[in-house]
Amino acid sequence: MPSTIEIQEESRPQGGPLSVLFKYLAAFERYTGRNIIIYYSGFLFTGKDTGIQDADMNGFMAAVYKMDKSRGLDLFLHTPGGMVSATEGIGNYLRAVFNNDIECYVPHMAMSCGTLLAMACRKIYMGKHSCLGPIDPALGNYRADAVIEEFDNARKDIASNANLSLLWQPIISKYPMTFLGECEKAKQLAESVARKWLTDGMLKGAKNQSKLIDGIVSVFANHRNSKMHDRHISPFEAANVGLDIKLIEEDPTLQDLVMSVHHAASNYCRSENYARVISNIKGLGLFIPAGK
């Protein structure tokens, strides 16, 4: 497979990085016989407007237009995450359009709501180096589960020693009114979306389905267990808790094609300074420049 440097060199004489990306997208689609859409974020190169947002639905609608839906969909994800509500809408849309026949490819990172969107698919292809991440949501700069945990700790401390209220008061007072309730609802939404998609998708008909899903949620949606929101969860750990994970290394040709698409898409985002790219093999989708 061509490396990132080789992709950059290849882009120069062939009409730029976009033409090289289309070349490898077409090669991948020929190999699988399925539709392909990439959702790529420039989050490793730029820090603005890189997360999943409501506007991305327009990109997916454009990319899906005139596709033969009976061929299913291979969805490439490289994203730090984003809005739970936007992710839920996109996942529900793609599942409805392709009758749940979606397979996800994570060549490098699909974190937070990227992981949640991957759970909307029948299976997830990853490299040994790839990672998923916890799906506990955020409200502004605060992790919802971490806020809930902090309030629980405050309750326990004050119940055991009322004088500790003097310690906790300035900490808890930084949160606005109703904030705890909003955090609890955000956490419930992320968990309920994951459970629904896993129940009638990836784990449909699985033996001990309920137990498997409980185990997945306990790892991916519980701050006490995941510890850090940016924790990298390997394909081996993801498979161990019940997700249907396939290693691309098991098929050398597939591995070559997946990583070629990844390097070409990453190079395109970097060279053109894009925050998010949603595209099919014809270039139909959405291309969002990085904010200043």
- Sequence-distant (6+) residues with CB within 8 A of 188 are none
Among residues 180, 179, 194, the alpha carbon closest in space to that of 242 is found at 194
With 80 as the cut, is the pLDDT of residue 11 above it? Answer: no
Which secondary structure element, helix H or strand E, spans residue 142, and what is its range?
strand 142-143
Q: Is the confidence at residue 8, as pLDDT, over 60?
A: no
* Full set of structural domains in the chain with CATH: 4-133+232-289 (3.90.226), 137-205 (no CATH)
Q: For residue 10, what pLDDT band results from cuts at 50, 70 and 90?
A: low
Of residues 279, 225, 239, the one with CA closest to residue 59:
279
pLDDT of residue 273: 93
Q: CA dist 69 to 59, 74, 82, 249, Å?
A: 17, 11, 27, 28
Alpha helices in 13-143 (DSSP H): 17-32, 56-64, 84-97, 113-118
Give the strand pairing for 73-78 and 35-41.
parallel
| CA-to-CA separations, 174 to 147, 168, 171, 286, in angstroms, rounded | 11, 10, 6, 39
Contact between 127 and 248 under an 8 Å Cβ cutoff? The reply is yes
Assess whether pLDDT exceeds 80 at residue 215. Answer: yes
Residues 6+ apart with CB under 8 A from 279: 21, 25, 37, 38, 59, 63, 285, 286, 287
Per-residue CA distances from 209 to 213, 237, 242 (Å): 6, 18, 9
Residue 289 pLDDT greater than 90, yes or no: yes
What percentage of the chain has pLDDT greater than the value 90?
84
Residue 159 has a pLDDT of 96
Q: What is the pLDDT of residues 123-138, one digit of tens each?
A: 999 999 999 999 999 8
Q: Which residue has the tokens 């701050």?
A: 223
Write the pLDDT tens digit of every residue in 129-179: 999 999 999 888 888 988 999 999 999 999 999 999 999 999 999 899 899
